[in-house]
A = this chain, B = another copy of it.
Amino acid sequence: MRPTVHDIAAKAGVSLATVDRVLNNRPGVRSITRDKVERAIATLGYVRDVAAANLAKGRNYPFVFILPAGDNSFMRGLEGEVSDAMARSASERTQITILPVPAFDAQALVQALSEAHQRRPAGVAVVAVDAPEVAEAVKQLRGDGIAVVTLVSDLPGSGRDHFAGVDNIAAGRTAGTLMGRFTGGRGGPIAVLAGSMLVRDHRDRLEGFSAVMAEEFPARPLLPVIEGQDDPVLVEKLVHALIEREPDLAGIYSLGAGNRGLVAALEKTGKSTTICTIAHELTPHSRAALRSGTIDAVLNQDAGHEVRSAIRVLKAKADGLAVIEAQERIRIDIFLKDNLPLEQA
C-alpha cells in the first residue's frame, strides 16, 4: 500500500498535525522538525492523494472560455469540445462558462474579457485577436491572479500564461513541402488563399509556406495572396476568377477557414483533380472534399486536444504548479484521404 500521512507521522515520530503543517507549509514548525518530516516523506516515497485532497478541500476550478461566434466550422467544433469538457466537469471539478464574442472584433473581445474578469474565475481561455487593447485586458486579468491561456490564436506580449495551439509557421512549412512535392511532376504557379492578413495565425502560415517554397522549390512561381475574408461567396468568386486567369495553375494553398467556396469553385470549373489543393482544419466539408479528391491534403489542429490541454494548463497555473511545456505541445496533423479518422457522433 502507498504510504499515508499517518505513516509519515509514525516514521518521523511527530504528530499528524505537524505533518499537515509541513505538507501544506503552514507556519509554526522548527526547521529541525520540518527536516525530520521531509526525510520521512522522501524515504517512504509519499505522494499526496490528490483525489482525497481535492475532496477534503472541496476544490473546484471556475473557468471561462471566450470563443468567436459565427458559422465557422472549426470554431463550432471547438465549442463542441468545450461542451464535452463541461459534461466532464463533475469528475474534473471544473465549472466552465462559454462566452461567445463576434469574430475578429478586438473591441468586443476586450469587453468579453472584462465580463470574464468580473466573474472572478480561476482561469480564462481565449481565442485571441491580435490587438494591443486585447493584450492590455489580458494583462489586467493576470494582474488579479487569474490564469490566462490563449487558444488556437496566440497573443504574444500579453503575458498570457500559455498558448494552446499549433506552431503555425511550421504548419505553413509543412504545407509548402507537401505542395512542392505533390506538384513535382508538372509546371505552373501556386496560389495562396487566406482569410485575412490581419489574423496572426494566417500570417504565420503564409510565412512558413513562402519560406519553404522559396528555399526548396525556387523554380515554382507563387502568385500574390488572395484574401477571401473566410466568406464562402467571396471566396468562390475569387477562386473562379483565379482559375480562369491562370489556366496552368498547379496548386492552391488555402490557409484560412471557409473552404466551402473554394471547393465549390474547383468542382464547378472541373479543375478539382488537376489542381493540387491543400487546406486547413478537418471539418465535415473539408473531410468530404478530401474523400472525393477535390482537396489533396488537410492540415489539422485537434480541437479536442487543444481544449483539454488548455484546461490542464489552467488548472496547473491556478494551483501555481509547473507545466511540462513539451507535453502540452499541440501537433500538426496531416490528413490524406487514406488516413481519415472515422467521423465521430
Contacts and interface: CB of A to CB of B under 8 A. Distances in A.
Contacts of A338: 170, 173-174, 176-177, 208, 212
A47 interface: yes
Number of this chain's copies in the complex: 2
Nearest to A87: B47
A345 B325 CA distance: 11
A181 interface: yes
Contacts of A184: 182, 184-185
A51 interface: yes
Interface residues of A, number: 40
A47 B170 CA distance: 43
Interface stretch (A144-152, A259-267, A326-334): A326-334
A261 B340 CA distance: 31
Nearest to A46: B90
Interface of A: 2, 47, 49-52, 54-55, 90-91, 170-171, 173-174, 176-178, 181-182, 184-186, 208, 212, 296, 326-327, 329, 331-334, 336-339, 341-342, 344-345
11 contacts: A47-B90, A173-B339, A181-B181, A182-B184, A185-B186, A327-B344, A329-B341, A331-B339, A333-B334, A334-B334, A334-B336
